Amino acid sequence: MKPKLLEQIQARLFYTEDLIIREFSLNGKPAVVVYIETLCDTEKLEISLFKQWFRTKSDDYHNLTISELITSAEVFPCANPEEAVKAILQGKALVTCDEIWYSLNAEQSNIRSIQEPVNESSIIGERSGFIEHLNVNINLIRNRASSPQLKVRYLTVGKYSTHKIAVLWQDGVADSRIVKEVTQRLKGLDSGMEIHPGRLQKKLLIEEKRSLFPQVFGTERIDTATNLIMQGRIAILCEQSSTCLIVPVSFYTFLRTIDSMLMEDKGAIVLQTLRAIGLMLSLYICSLYIAIVSFHHEVLPSQMAISIKGSLENVPYSPIVEAVLMILIFQLIAETTIRLPSQVAQMVGVAGGIIISEALVKIGFVSNIYIVIVALSVIGSFIIPTYQMRILTLILQLLFVFAAWIVGFYGITLLTAACLVHFFSLEPFGVPYYSPIRSKSE
């Protein structure tokens, strides 16, 4: 080890003031312990090092070497400044005597309690979810899977190689080619920014076909992640994040919940049918209204067509304006209720929706019939269980509205055909996006 390692460590950490350097004597030789006080747990350091150091003053423990002195379960030698700085930033402490440096685990543990994810509530599933601690999350998956085939591979990614992620898969069930591909893509991540699931998702899809359709599934539920792993998917966990990424996935993965996975077939079919109906409502009901009132009045009974035309007489704008206006207003209310505390969100959602809708109808900005249409569309979108798919639905809904405004039913049909062609052409990680992914054993 270079004699100027301590100066090199200080320089690489830019002489930060929370870097603690303590000197002491071991068997008459100078020794040094180095750690960052905001990352290390001093109690662990005392137990692993200093209590043993005090014992060296007795005859029974005399002449202990530095490696024998440390009682930590994880002790590694540091051969160069890069390894030393990396260990310090991971919450480890460095100790040296006779120019030999060792790192010992003294990481500070700030772990919150395990709770059910707020955004993925379940009726019959577990009441537990991932937390912002990598080892705890892997422990939760292992306890639920209880499979000797479950493999874990750790990767250190980032420009400074300090961010730890884990790749989990069921050996013999998951496709080894996809496992290798996922690992290679993650290793290529060299961002100097904080590593979180969003950046990992972009890196995983960098070689895939660009698409509005989500191709990486994210969940905070332990039971959902474990079920998908046992079916042959690959999970990616990141330190300091409670989101588990799953690849490869199909379109149907985003429409399923843990309830439909655990429920009997008949009940699961009913739930899936309801979600399909909600998806169709959110995609098409607004655009069909625009197409009918603009081009195709003849598809409605005469009395209904007269009633709709009567409600539009007081609206000074074309149907496309009221359509886009109400979609944006309802989406603003929906996003507001998501961000606010639950007690306030219910009041804002109900009161805001009723008051704004009634006021817009009275002043003639929108028709009362279209208020019902947009409400059905919003309800249909919230039946979809995943936030990623709801964003896709909103984008496609606006595209269908504009297509219907331009050429009516023909625009809806052409855009549907284009979406289907693109949908059936997607093959993330070589797996067709339109078909459920089966394990090899099935």
The reply to whether 436 falls in a domain is: no
- Same structural domain, 181 and 325: no
Q: Which residue, 223, 249, 252, is CA-closest to 123?
A: 223
**Number of neighbours of residue 403 by Cβ within 10 angstroms:** 22
Kindly state the greatest CA–CA separation across the chain.
105
- Same structural domain, 201 and 93: no
Domain count along the chain: 3
Confidence of residue 55 (pLDDT cuts 50, 70, 90): low
CA atoms of 388 and 276, how far apart (whole Å): 16
CA end-to-end span of the chain: 55
pTM: 0.81
Amino acid at 412: I
- Same structural domain, 269 and 327: yes
Confidence of residue 103 (pLDDT cuts 50, 70, 90): confident
- Same structural domain, 245 and 283: no
- Same structural domain, 308 and 281: yes
- Same structural domain, 87 and 169: no
- Same structural domain, 288 and 329: yes
The reply to whether 325 falls in a domain is: yes
Confidence of residue 363 (pLDDT cuts 50, 70, 90): confident
3-class secondary structure, 36: strand
The reply to whether 258 falls in a domain is: no
The reply to whether 415 falls in a domain is: yes
Give tens-digit pLDDT for 133-172.
888 999 999 999 888 899 999 988 877 656 789 999 999 8
Answer yes or no: are the C-beta atoms of 159 and 192 closer than 8 Å. Answer: yes
The reply to whether 116 falls in a domain is: no
CA atoms of 375 and 440, how far apart (whole Å): 43
Domain that holds residue 55: 5-105
Helix 134-145 × helix 222-230 angle, to 10°:
60
Which pLDDT score, from 0 to 100, does residue 310 have? 74
Confidence of residue 2 (pLDDT cuts 50, 70, 90): very low
Distance of CA 301 to the CA centre of its chain: 48
**Number of neighbours of residue 373 by Cβ within 10 angstroms:** 19
Give tens-digit pLDDT for 18-46.
889 988 877 777 888 899 988 888 888 88
Asked whether the predicted pLDDT for residue 64 surpasses 70, the reply is no
